[in-house]
A = this chain, B = another copy of it.
């Protein structure tokens, strides 16, 4: 079986997925839609697919699955429409910035029986997967404490920040998902601290740029998350998982890993410049997993529920940071 794809949104991340689909022997890119004609044309030209409207893709008999890379505000609506159209759906995170809207959207997905995968790309990084595999194989025993370090090279434009939902929902959400991927137990309470240390304009926009979070599960497992919108040395992405028998860790990846020693010491070049180069393999593996899930009828993960849980942690963290208290996730989910 070949999975026939429609691509919704031909921006930067859309093109990453178009490439992955085209390179996969079990998939074919059939059509692309984008509000900007030249963006759609670029993808169509490079990968030899049709340019169609979203409506045309929705009704197309030759499209089995869609990849949603449009702006965040359209995600939930598009998921509902394509769920009803009987397509398999891959949607970039987040489903929506409002937990209530996500909940409604997932009800439609459930009612239609649609298959939905949410784009938490880091779960597909080969190094992080190897850490998870080490846990699953029992090499570190029972998981006790997780540390996730995630620092962006620099802050996004203020216009982006304004519509991002804030650092917890935009950036830390990846770490919340990674924490759930590694902890092996749902988070019960959240403690967070948030500051503006990088750029005062971010604070003026009502957001933070530097945050620390402690997650705690019912059995007492803990996860520490450290985030900053600044890392002069490149895109800093590390995890370490301590268990009863040992620790498994994934260090930073480097585009060029030479070392030069001289009178001033030993020097290695900076890390990757950002997620597009750091997570190249992860993006390809993510789409391959989605395709395999469709062709083999296997469960698809991370699911819409995973998207909702990560968002709930983000909401809880924001409350903790602003109200100065430990927040139970159940409080957020029950609203």
- What separation, in Å, do the CA atoms of A193 and B236 have in the docked complex? 25
Give the residue name and chain of the B residue nearest to A259 (CB): B249
Which of A7-15, A52-60, A172-180, A265-273 forms part of the interface with chain B? A265-273
Q: Are A258 and B130 in contact (CB under 8 A)?
A: yes
Q: Given A220-B195, A257-B253, A269-B265, do A210 and B144 touch, yes or no (CB 8 Å)?
A: yes
Tell which of A134, A191, A213, A324 has the most Cβ of chain B within 10 Å.
A191
Q: Are A270 and B260 in contact (CB under 8 A)?
A: no
**A216 in contact (CB, < 8 A):** yes
**A113 in contact (CB, < 8 A):** no
Q: Please tell me how many copies of the chain the complex holds.
A: 4
Report B-chain residues with C-beta under 8 Å of the C-beta of A210: 144-145, 220, 222
- What separation, in Å, do the CA atoms of A251 and B268 have in the docked complex? 11
**A226 in contact (CB, < 8 A):** yes
One digit per residue, 1 when the CB lies within 8 angstroms of any chain B CB and 0 when it does not, for chain A 225-252 equals 0101011110010000010111111110
Report which A residues bind B (CB closer than 8 A): 25, 46, 126-127, 130-131, 134, 139-140, 142, 144-145, 147, 149, 151, 189, 191-193, 195-198, 210-214, 216, 219-224, 226, 228, 230-233, 236, 242, 244-251, 253, 255-270, 320, 324-326
If A189-B324, A233-B246 are given as contacts, then 7 extra A-B residue pairs at C-beta distance below 8 Å, sorted by A number, are A145-B228, A191-B326, A246-B261, A247-B260, A267-B267, A325-B325, A326-B326
List the 7 shortest-distance A-B pairs measured between CB atoms, nearest first.
A195-B220, A246-B262, A233-B261, A324-B326, A266-B268, A191-B191, A232-B263
